[in-house]
Amino acid sequence: MKRFIIAFIAAYIFIFFWGWLLNGVVLKDAYAQTPNLWRPQSEMMSLFHWIIIGQALVVFAFVMIYASGFTGSGVGAGIKLGILLEIGAIGMRLGFYAVQPFPGKLVFYGSIGGLIEMVIVGAIVGAIYKPASARISSQ
Amino acid sequence: MDWKKFFFAFIAAFIFLFVFGFLWYATLMHGAHREVSTLLRPEADLKSHFGWLVLGHLVMAFFFTLLCARYVPSGRASAGAILGILVGLVYAGPHLISFAVQPLTLKILCGWIVGAVIQFAIAGAIVGAIYKPAAEYTMYVKERSR
């Protein structure tokens, strides 16, 4: 449980700063090209807690899947899980691109950024959390 | 990996994800989506982007089936459904973030989250029921996890 919480917090801190770097800095100009799709800055800030809850949910569910023990253990297993989940999420992003008028550039770079994010989240979780079966076999 | 069973599970998952998506998001939530029509492509534009929707569902179905086949080695419907719920929650997180940055309504947010969890829970159960590896492999995994 202790390692679960540490893995969750470490991955959450990373995902929070990565989200800010990717969406708030790197892709800022791409977002600015479609202002009609986004809330005004002041409104976004008043709803900021939803971003925190959303990121926490992603990390919590990720660690839960990893902690189920079927993923194996270690950094490699975490990275594999991250890649599988994120490529599925890219599929979902393509679905959103079909129905919402996002610029293709935003979807492309958002997907690359998402893949890097989940690879690193997987590595962090894999390095910190050891599923019970792995802990027993390593003793 | 039993590729024949994997292929059938993938096709079943794709058909289910696509049909459920149509019923839930395009039919049941049609009224809610009309409230934010400026966020959506016009009908003609949507039709010209339909290929992306199909491709997106194919990618989702393929990697979700791969995830179930790898991480639910016993291949039971209930275990697949539990993994599906967790995957649905991973994908529901970005919906919460979208709500904070896009002028979506609370009704849409709830619809998307509930939809994602139900969709992947059932898809997981379908994959778990179809993709059952050989008995020897299941025994090997059980022994290994002890």
Among A56, A62, A80, A67, which Cα is nearest to A2's?
A: A67
- Residues of A in Cβ contact (< 8 Å) with B64: 88
State residue A136's pLDDT score. 45
Question: Worst-scoring range by mean pLDDT, A56-60, A73-77, B65-69, B132-136?
Answer: B132-136
Between positions 2 and 61 of A, the ones with CB within 8 A of B are 19, 36-39, 43-44, 47-51, 53-58, 60-61
Of the two residues A74 and B99, the one the predictor is more confident about is: B99
- Model confidence at B3: pLDDT above 90: no
Calculate Rg over the CA atoms of chain B: 17
Q: Is residue B145 part of a domain?
A: no
- Residues of A in Cβ contact (< 8 Å) with B56: 91-98
In DSSP notation, B6-39 reads: HHHHHHHHHHHHHHHHIIIIIIITHHHHHTTGGG
Average pLDDT across chain B, whole number: 89
Contacts of B80 (CB under 8 A, 6+ apart): B68, B72, B124, B125, B126, B127, B128, B129, B131
d(CA B51, CA B49): 5
Decide if B59 touches A, using CB distance below 8 A.
yes
In DSSP notation, B75-99 reads: --HHHHHHHHHHHHHHHHHHHHHHH
Question: Worst-scoring range by mean pLDDT, A129-133, B16-20, B43-47, B115-119?
Answer: A129-133
Calculate Rg over the CA atoms of chain A: 17
Q: What is the pLDDT of residues B36-68, one digit of tens each?
A: 989 999 989 999 999 999 999 999 999 999 999
Q: How many domains does chain B have?
A: 1
The set of long-range contacts for B28-34, using a CB threshold of 8 Å and a minimum separation of 24, is: B28/B111, B29/B108, B29/B111, B29/B115, B32/B105, B32/B107, B32/B108, B32/B111, B33/B108
Average pLDDT over residues B96-114: 96
Q: Is residue B144 part of a domain?
A: no
pTM given for the model:
0.88
Structural domain of residue B106, as residue ranges? 3-139
Q: How many domains does chain A have?
A: 1
**DSSP one-letter code for A21:** I
Structural domain of residue A97, as residue ranges? 2-138
**CA of residue B29 relative to chain centroid, distance:** 17
CA-angle at B86, arms to A98 and A57, nearest 5°:
80
* Whether A29 contacts A112, CB under 8 Å: no
Q: Is residue B146 part of a domain?
A: no
d(CA B27, CA B30): 5
